[in-house]
Structure 1
């Protein structure tokens, strides 16, 4: 009896065990054809990871911005007429009179753009018996240095080199005061002629009527060549700038003298 019961229970157990599925992980669901063919970019934006493009761009600092416009150019310096020191001017006039120059004081010149002379004068006679032709307007300092150079350097050189031509009669000038840029250029710095600081010497005329014209004479072995080289070299003892025909093409026919003050007393002579 007991054995029959046990056998029945065993049969029930075996039948129940045959209907139960095997244990273990469930297989993954295979994607459908539609899902596999969907392009990646068609995914929902909300599912896409956030990138830097989603953030607002940071402002570019000023120093890193590209230049879209040309920077403003600095304004050109305002050129003014240098005022004369009254004491120095009076002392210059006294020295000019003492050396024997003939001149006339003029009204202040102001031609704009820095051109002008605070206390100009018109020089007629450099020394007694030595005329300046044509007469020229300039500062007193320019006139005084011209007179000193003529007396102490030009006349002695003329006596040594050209004694048969008689005394020096005329200094022929090519330019004194004139409102212009250097070398008559259209751009560049203002000329010292425009400030009354300069004079250009074109030639020297003697009592005999002979004239010595300024021209390239470095290789001129005549006494006229020696005279020109002598007066050119001594010019730098009186003027701050001396330019002769050997300087450049712009000075092939004259000597340029000026009294432009430079730092540390530097003089430009060539």
Structure 2
């Protein structure tokens, strides 16, 4: 069956504010709602002080999630997200595991410091990919993506993706371990080596790629 594509315009952007944005193409992805409902039914995501249900995300009906959440920290509150990220159910356990199993160990190894916070540049946003007029709808529009701009350690040191990618040896090693390690947890990982639009962040999402939906894109 051919993929259904719909053009929409005049859309509200992040958090449903009144700003209008460029038009985009919407794909009919049959996996999205069943995958999210299965995650919700599994009980893998529970409300805590750091993961709270949201009633709505804003934007037109093609954007958003079945039951969105706001995630303010990972690893039982040890690592804050600044600001909190608006996400669909499947993203939350992956982000939590990624922080605990990739980012925190890398920070301890490279800097002998605990990780205390992660800079979130974007999560939910009802917009086309890269904010390009007429492009395909972004995974951000489904709360299925997060852009990570930097990391803060216990001593106050901040490792910026933009500055650190070609920064000190420790910063470069840390960011490359985090980038490469992300590929085991997310189906799409894009960083500074991908293009100039990603020079200041890591884009992480759980989009389905390929015929079986299992292909990973890691650039």
**More strand, by proportion:** 2
In the TM superposition, residue 219 of structure 1 has moved relative to its aligned partner by 5.5
SS of the aligned residue for 2:64 comes to strand
Q: 1:102 aligns with which of 32, 50, 53?
A: 50
CA contact (8 A) 1:216 1:245 kept: no
CA contact (8 A) 2:125 2:140 kept: yes
The whole-number CA distance in structure 1 between the counterparts of 2:61 and 2:89 is 22
* Matches for 1:187-226 after TM superposition, within 5 Å: 187-215=134-162, 220=167, 222-226=169-173
* Greater RCO (CA < 8 Å, at least 6 residues apart): 2
* Matches for 1:87-166 after TM superposition, within 5 Å: 87-91=38-42, 94-97=43-46, 102-109=50-57, 111-112=59-60, 114-127=62-75, 128-163=77-112, 166=113
CA contact (8 A) 1:102 1:124 kept: yes
Q: Deviations along 1:48-106, whole A, 9 cap, x unmatched? A: xxxxxxxxxxxxxxxxxxxxxxxxxxx95374694355343132xx43459x8821112
Residue segments in structure 1 that go unaligned for 5+ positions in a row: 1-74
The whole-number CA distance in structure 2 between the counterparts of 1:256 and 1:151 is 18
- Structure 2 partner of 1:26: none
Equivalent residues, number? 191
Q: Deviations along 1:117-163, whole A, 9 cap, x unmatched? A: 11100111112311111011111111211111010111111111000
The answer to whether 1:173 aligns with 2:120 is: yes
**More helix, by proportion:** 1
Larger Rg: 1
Residue segments in structure 2 that go unaligned for 5+ positions in a row: 8-25
Distance 1:141 1:260, change over 3 A: same
TM-score where L is the length of structure 1 = 0.65
CA RMSD of aligned residues (A): 2.4
TM-score where L is the length of structure 2 = 0.79
* Matches for 1:1-270 after TM superposition, within 5 Å: 76-77=5-6, 79=26, 82-84=32-34, 85-91=36-42, 94-97=43-46, 102-109=50-57, 111-112=59-60, 114-127=62-75, 128-163=77-112, 166-215=113-162, 220=167, 222-263=169-210, 264=212, 265-270=214-219
The whole-number CA distance in structure 2 between the counterparts of 1:210 and 1:243 is 24
